[in-house]
Structure 1
């Protein structure tokens, strides 16, 4: 996959994430945990922001970021408005970071000091893995939002 194709897919999925978060009627809805689950839509969104800021923005784009992964799940770091602003910022950071990737860079090894998960882990492979992670959690947020709001709207 080319850097332009990655940019297109990340842009699409981050726009969907933004639309999901915007459809919650209140902060309280965003942070409600459904029975039988452990994460609210807000916590999942914070987790996606931390994940993408770390593994794409910091590692590939050199955008400064200090991650507290535990806090992403345990705390209410952002309001709904803040989350929406963070997603807009994230869209630019991800686009700029991936935009720097040449075809040669995409086939080079992803820094193991940042993430060491797979025997063969090119930047392209890790970008694909992270895109799947974004899509997975965005689907969870969609389900959470529809359950909480009683809505049937589907931005997925």
Structure 2
């Protein structure tokens, strides 16, 4: 099944059960792993088919960007976790 983003739910959905969140994270990790393993190395140098920034980029550049973007959000999650642990 192809991934279908539901961006509005990413910001509006509240009180998601922990078990459901963990299941979604595990499924996402599985899909990312399978996708990257199946990605031929030569595809990395090719232009990414969608225009994401002001100018075209390689697939490799976009994947590095997405990785650093994810780490930014992981930092935010960790910050909020520490706030909750401090209670």
User: How high is the TM-score relative to the length of structure 1?
Assistant: 0.51
2:21 aligned with 1:83: yes
Q: Structure 2 vs 1, CA of residues 69 and 103 (structure 1 numbering), >3 Å: closer, same or farther? A: same
Runs of 4+ in structure 1 off by over 4 angstroms are none
Counterparts of 1:1-150 in structure 2, within 5 Å, are 63-76=1-14, 78-112=16-50, 115-150=51-86
Question: What is the CA-CA distance between 1:118 and the residue it aligns to?
Answer: 4.2
Gaps of 5+ in 2: none
1:29-69 Cα distance to aligned partner (Å, 9 max, x none): xxxxxxxxxxxxxxxxxxxxxxxxxxxxxxxxxx4122221
Q: Which has the higher contact order (CA 8 A, sep 6+)?
A: 1
**Residue-pair matches, total:** 87
Instruction: Show structure 1 runs of 5+ residues with no match.
Output: 1-62, 152-156
Partner Cα distance (2:31, 2:54) in 1? 25
Q: CA deviation at 1:96?
A: 0.7
